[in-house]
Amino acid sequence: MLFLYHIGKPSLYGSLTCQGIGLDGIPEVTASEGFIVNEINKKSIHISCPKESASSKFLAPYTTFSRIHTKSITCLDISSGGGLGVSSSTDGTMKIWQASNGELRRVLEGHVFDVNCCRFFPSGLVVLSGGMDAQLKIWSAEDASCVVTFKGHKGGILDTAIVDRGRNVVSGSRDGTARLWDCGRSACLGVLADCGSSINGVAVGAADNSINLGSPEQMPSEREVGTEAKMLLLAREDKKLQCLGLQSRQPVFLFIGSDAFNCCTFLSGFLLLAGTQDGNIYQLDVRSPGAPVQVIHRSGAPVLSLLSFRDGFIASQGDGSCFIVQQDLDYVTELTGADCDPVYKVATWEKQIYTCCRDGLVRRYQLSDL
């Protein structure tokens, strides 16, 4: 079944029919009136609708890892060298695995209750995690030992960001605060923001020279490393997207969206994306944040993750959709396989994209399959 949806216009419906398998092992597929099958191989199909000047590529997973977790996978990340993956699940576990084949390498045990977020430090040898137990932990990927535990939040930690090489990290919590931590001394360097509303997503980015980040009210600690000329973005439950100077703690802007903000990311030194619970992806320019550059709305399902990718971005939603938008192309690449299960997180390494889903599967897509 195909359908093309344009806001304010009637949807166009169509279908695909498989006529059989060719001698090269590739299906022979035709589309109903109004749609054209432009290209097909074993892993992808490119379909267009000339009347509406629209086209999409649909890419199937290259491999699927089903044995890492037994329940929903809430977060994942891939190491900087592409060799390892880390993921957390509602089965109560956090695991490190071989990115090439999903083979289990380590189990990271120590959080009480669910682990909400996990990511590799730039070295690829260390993992940062945040849990419903309000604790932030740093782990060795080599021997699974917990080397640091940060305590101070009063509610579950929902997202983290790493500053530069990782001497400092940022956390956002259900308690409404974003905090800056010193990894070397396992100490809190300060509360960056106290919003009075759950912080669902955080992002740190280098600011363009034209952006005024303000000046700190007091001399920054010598333990702050790499916070200057950085912006901090907070995706908040109260429909607000907040940006401040990471070192100055001074406000840059406050944008009010259509619903709770779930996630955010920087595309450049002045462009950013943020996704809402009602399916909007806002693209904003920090230099003039009053009105969005554009608002992308593909469905009413929650936008769960956003990731800058090449000259565009990857987004995933609560209805199972996961797609790549590239700025110089007039079509979208759809990453298929999740059906209607939410895709919670996306991670990339070179030409490979990894997703984690409520169905308990990690899917790996190969862009060379396009």
- The vertex-230 CA angle with 229 and 236, nearest 5°, equals 150
The CA-atom distances, in angstroms, between 140 and each of 104, 106, 321 are 15, 10, 33
- Given a cut of 90, whether residue 260 has pLDDT beyond it is yes
pLDDT at 248: 97
- Given a cut of 70, whether residue 343 has pLDDT beyond it is yes
Query: Which residues does 207 contact at the CB level (< 8 Å), separation at least 6?
Result: 213, 229, 230, 231, 245, 269, 270, 286
Look at the alpha carbons of 355, 361, 362, 365 in this order and tell me if their dihedral is positive or negative. Answer: negative
Beta carbons of 120 and 84 less than 8 angstroms apart: yes
pLDDT band at 50 (very low <50, low <70, confident <90, very high): confident
- Given a cut of 90, whether residue 124 has pLDDT beyond it is yes
Q: Which residue has the higher pLDDT, 342 or 50?
A: 342
CA distance 94 to 109: 7
- Given a cut of 80, whether residue 327 has pLDDT beyond it is no
Burial of 216 (0-12, 13-18, 19+ CB in 10 A): middle
What average pLDDT does the segment 62-81 reach? 96
> Out of 63-67, 185-189, 278-282, 365-369, which region has the weakest mean confidence (pLDDT)?
365-369
Answering whether pTM is above 0.75, one says yes
With a pLDDT cut of 70, the percent of the chain lying above it is 95
Over the chain, what HEC string results?
CEEECCCCCCCEEECEEEEEECCCCCEEEEECCCCEEEEECCCEEEEEEHHHCEEEEEECCCEEECCCCCCCEEEEEECCCCCEEEEEECCCCEEEEECCCCCEEEECCCCCCCEEEEEECCCCCEEEEEECCCCEEEEECCCCCEEEEECCCCCCEEEEEEECCCCEEEEEECCCEEEEEECCCCEEEEEEEECCCCEEEEEEEECCCCCCCCCCCCCCCCCCCCCCCEEEEEEECCCEEEEEECCCCCEEEEEECCCCEEEEEECCCCEEEEEECCCEEEEEECCCCCCCCEEEECCCCCEEEEEEECCEEEEEECCCCEEEEECCCCEEEEECCCCCCCEEEEEEECCEEEEEECCCCEEEEEHHHC
pLDDT at 3: 58
What average pLDDT does the segment 226-241 reach? 97
What average pLDDT does the segment 181-186 reach? 95
* Range among 214-223, 228-237, 329-338 rated most confident: 228-237
pLDDT at 6: 55
pLDDT at 54: 81
CA distance 335 to 305: 14
pLDDT at 329: 57
What average pLDDT does the segment 339-358 reach? 97
pLDDT at 8: 56
* Range among 37-46, 51-60, 254-263 rated most confident: 254-263
Beta carbons of 84 and 71 less than 8 angstroms apart: no
pLDDT at 49: 85
> Out of 8-12, 125-129, 300-304, which region has the weakest mean confidence (pLDDT)?
8-12
- Given a cut of 70, whether residue 85 has pLDDT beyond it is yes
What average pLDDT does the segment 265-277 reach? 98
- Given a cut of 60, whether residue 7 has pLDDT beyond it is no
Tally of CA atoms within 13 A in the half-sphere of 286 that contains its CB: 28
> Out of 13-22, 55-64, 72-81, 225-234, which region has the weakest mean confidence (pLDDT)?
13-22
Give which of 217, 246, 253, 221 is closest to 231, Cα–Cα: 246
pLDDT band at 75 (very low <50, low <70, confident <90, very high): very high
Mean pLDDT of all residues belonging to the chain: 93
What average pLDDT does the segment 180-188 reach? 95
pLDDT, tens digit, 9 for 90 and up, residues 328-337:
556 789 999 9
